């Protein structure tokens, strides 16, 4: 199982590098800690909230217990403090009674130090637990996986090339939805190419961009995938899409316009849109096409 994970990370690294070299889009939202690590930035305790949110929340609670212990030791005599700290814990239950092993939460076979499987968490070793847990999760456990990704990436492109970018740019390069978040009608009218019956001044063109701007993010992803084959846009949004998304009027005598569905030529980013007369009909027909065509491929 471990070898399969390492092999998968190596392939992932290779694919990411190949996408960079070939200028291809990937819908692969890498985590913030992974991007930081790939750029050689040491991971911090706060990165646990992205990697293991439940562990992060538990650590925050345990940190509160540790601070309370220090406060008691500073305010009380040694004998009184020793007695008072024994009752510290979570949810009113002393730490010693919670039977928490000195291991990575959820992985009883991963000890934080030698003999950790046989050791239980208490107020006396809490400081060591809070120090060792992030080290094991953020360094020891993930380093082999990071190395596998680097190995795969370096088979195509030197991993040092990523250092040309900041963390936010690496995130956007491989899986950000930033290009889908701030659409405006005027922006889309300018970015789209209207031909064969439509222009940017056409009523249906205006209805289309207004409907698109009102869609929630998951549906925007569906629309972009419907038109381009990938649910995300390049850096720069529709303005950077090549070829540009072309919208043409779809003509058919088989059915009334309000019953027709849009269709696409995905390889050319080409949307064939019937001349709908209302936003409600356009939205209804567009959503039917976008969702029902998911995973479908036809030659025409």
The residues carrying an active-site annotation are 267
173 in Cβ contact with 31 (< 8 Å): no
Exposure string over 226-259, b if 16+ CB within 10 A, otherwise e: bbbebbbbbeebbeebeeebbbbbbeeeeeeeee
Sign of CA dihedral 179, 183, 187, 191: positive
Cβ-based burial of 186 (10 A; exposed 0-12, middle 13-18, buried ≥19): exposed
3-state secondary structure of 108: strand
283 in Cβ contact with 223 (< 8 Å): no
**Minimal CA–CA distance to 15: which of 5, 6, 25?**
25
- For tokens 């471990």, name the residue: 2
- State the CB neighbour count (10 A cutoff) for residue 173: 20
Length of the chain: 300
């Amino acid at each position: 199982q471990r070898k399969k994970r390492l092999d998968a990370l190596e392939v992932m690294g290779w694919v990411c590098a190949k996408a960079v070299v070939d200028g291809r889009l990937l819908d692969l939202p890498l985590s913030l800690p992974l991007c930081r690590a790939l750029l050689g930035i040491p991971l911090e305790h706060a990165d646990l909230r992205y990697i293991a949110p439940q562990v992060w929340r538990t650590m925050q609670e345990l940190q509160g217990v540790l601070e309370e212990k220090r406060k008691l030791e500073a305010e009380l005599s040694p004998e009184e403090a020793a007695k008072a700290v024994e009752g510290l814990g979570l949810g009113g239950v002393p730490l010693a009674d919670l039977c928490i092993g000195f291991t990575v939460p959820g992985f009883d076979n991963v000890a934080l130090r030698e003999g950790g499987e046989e050791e239980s968490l208490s107020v006396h070793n809490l400081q060591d637990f809070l120090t060792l847990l992030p080290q094991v999760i953020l360094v020891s456990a993930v380093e082999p996986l990071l190395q596998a990704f680097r190995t795969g990436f370096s088979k195509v492109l030197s991993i040092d090339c990523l250092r040309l970018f900041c963390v936010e740019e690496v995130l956007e390069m491989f899986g950000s939805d930033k290009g889908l978040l701030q659409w405006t009608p005027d922006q889309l009218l300018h970015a789209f190419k209207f031909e064969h019956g439509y222009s940017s001044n056409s009523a249906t063109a205006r209805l289309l961009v207004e409907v698109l701007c009102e869609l929630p993010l998951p549906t925007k992803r569906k629309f972009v995938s419907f038109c381009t084959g990938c649910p995300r846009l390049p850096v720069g949004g529709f303005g950077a899409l090549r070829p540009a998304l072309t919208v043409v009027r779809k003509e058919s005598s088989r059915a009334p316009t309000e019953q027709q569905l849009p269709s696409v030529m995905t390889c050319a980013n080409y949307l064939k849109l019937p001349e709908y007369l209302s936003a409600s009909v356009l939205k209804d027909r567009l959503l039917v096409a976008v969702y029902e065509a998911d995973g479908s491929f036809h030659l025409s």
